[in-house]
């Protein structure tokens, strides 16, 4: 009974987190269509959060009905003259009001209105990432110790917040790049000599390996997630062999080639426990493309301390937000092309289940992680909506570009055929993603 209740609670938590995230992203997307359309003189008849029967509604002074519907899995704006929520067709509009309809508006107004949805998704991502940069701050240029992470008993940790790292085992350290280079050259061992500047004096204190086996992230639906590993865990040993550095864990997992391995793990407040799990061979992006590697689904390699942070300026934070949003778009393009060209398998395409599970895990990890994940999803959804597939925003923009070049709109028959093909393509991808969620390892 207890297990069943836990499973039910986990399902409800995941579903609630997914609905909240999706609602935020869709509301921002559709509001982009609505507000730009209104500014361009196009009338929105309905702004709906959700599909299906109406639960609550009100009409504003512009004549738009704002409603909440029964199925909270998306939303839409229906403009004057739209035949359906996807604006895939039109219905007759009296000539006097034709300019207020999406089909009767000038080409520039239609283009701006449709493009605004993905643009608002990107704007949401940029603002969230910028806000997090301002809130969390940015690492100072020097290698300075900030907040300390909890460490297992027996770990030599005499570094203190505010220490400025000058050298590691005698090797000068002036930047984080220097620290990484020193860590790569030095042998792995439990204790190193850290030379620091503390209270104006240069001293040398014992400290742990600069790249300890500290788990900083867990991939959803991975062997590590299934086994119950969590961020903050420290891997003490693998198959009985002590581990001092994260690279040792990576190398041992690769050598096992999918054979079950036994991890001895320390977790703050719970002590030491054993976990058995087997790696899966997965596609991993590299500078040259993609390669197959055995992975258990943990990320790490950071230090036992956070970098000291400095305040981020508004312009700097917006630049960081734009760069991170662009990285998500670029990785989406790269991954999509890799699947189309056969560089990676179709199992890399996740569906609604995997997205919901990831959303639930992000929410469980804390509010900051949840907001960050919403920003990631918003950028990805903005990109997907720009794909030149009829029924998506990108499909509408493709038709508008054709109209701009050819001087006329595609015929209704062509529009109907392409829209049907586009809908079939979207539904096929959704089914493929769901199938992957259920059957891919």
Residues annotated catalytic, as ranges: 30
Give the ranges where 215-287 is alpha helix by DSSP (H).
223-227, 246-256
Q: Extract the tokens encoding 281.
A: 């061979």
90, β-bridge pairs: 82
For residues 149 and 214, is the Cβ–Cβ distance under 8 A?
yes
With CA atoms as reference, report the closest residue to 296 among 227, 383, 360: 227
For residues 316 and 129, is the Cβ–Cβ distance under 8 A?
no
Q: Extract the tokens encoding 432.
A: 């493929």
What 3-state DSSP class applies to 177?
Answer: helix
- The span from the CA of 250 to the CA of 255, in Å, is 9
With CA atoms as reference, report the closest residue to 232 among 298, 281, 187: 298
For residues 260 and 227, is the Cβ–Cβ distance under 8 A?
no
- The span from the CA of 19 to the CA of 358, in Å, is 13
Q: Extract the tokens encoding 144.
A: 């300075």
Q: Extract the tokens encoding 351.
A: 């569906």
């Amino acid at each position: 009974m207890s297990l069943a209740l836990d499973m039910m609670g986990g399902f409800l938590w995941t579903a609630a987190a997914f609905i909240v995230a999706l609602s935020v992203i869709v509301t921002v997307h559709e509001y982009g269509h609505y507000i730009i359309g209104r500014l361009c003189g196009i009338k929105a008849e309905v702004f709906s959060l959700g599909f299906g029967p109406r639960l609550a509604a009100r009409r504003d002074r512009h004549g738009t009905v704002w409603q909440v519907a029964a199925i909270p899995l998306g939303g839409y704006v229906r403009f004057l003259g739209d035949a359906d929520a996807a604006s895939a067709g039109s219905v007759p509009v009296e000539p006097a009001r034709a300019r207020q309809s999406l089909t009767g508006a000038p080409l520039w107004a239609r283009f701006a209105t449709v493009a605004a949805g993905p643009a608002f998704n990107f704007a949401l991502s940029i603002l969230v990432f910028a806000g997090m940069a301002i809130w969390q701050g940015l690492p100072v240029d020097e290698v300075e110790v900030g907040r300390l992470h909890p460490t297992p008993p027996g770990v030599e940790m005499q570094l203190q917040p505010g220490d400025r790292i000058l050298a590691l085992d005698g090797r000068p350290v002036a930047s984080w790049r220097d620290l990484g280079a020193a860590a790569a050259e030095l042998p792995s061992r439990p204790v190193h000599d850290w030379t620091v500047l503390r209270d104006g004096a240069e001293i040398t204190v014992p400290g742990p390996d600069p790249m300890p086996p500290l788990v900083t992230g867990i991939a959803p639906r991975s062997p590590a997630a299934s086994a119950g590993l969590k961020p903050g865990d420290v891997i003490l040993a693998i198959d009985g062999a002590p581990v001092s550095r994260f690279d040792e864990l990576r190398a041992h997992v690769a050598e096992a080639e999918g054979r079950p391995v036994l991890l001895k793990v320390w977790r703050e407040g719970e002590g030491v426990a054993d976990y058995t799990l087997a790696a899966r061979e997965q596609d991993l992006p590299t500078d040259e493309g993609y390669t197959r590697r055995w992975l258990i689904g943990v990320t790490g390699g950071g230090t036992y301390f956070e970098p000291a942070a400095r305040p981020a300026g508004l312009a700097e934070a917006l630049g960081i937000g734009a760069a991170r949003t662009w990285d998500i778009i670029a990785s989406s393009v790269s991954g999509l092309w890799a699947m189309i060209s056969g560089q990676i398998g179709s199992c890399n395409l996740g569906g609604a289940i995997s997205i919901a599970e990831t959303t639930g895990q992000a929410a469980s990890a804390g509010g900051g992680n949840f907001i960050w994940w919403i920003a990631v999803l918003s950028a990805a959804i903005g990109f997907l909506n720009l794909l030149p597939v009829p029924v998506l925003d990108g499909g509408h923009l493709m038709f508008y570009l054709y109209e701009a070049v050819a001087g006329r709109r595609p015929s209704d028959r062509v529009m109907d055929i392409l829209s049907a093909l586009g809908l079939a393509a979207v539904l096929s991808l959704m089914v493929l993603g769901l199938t992957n969620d259920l059957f891919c390892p």
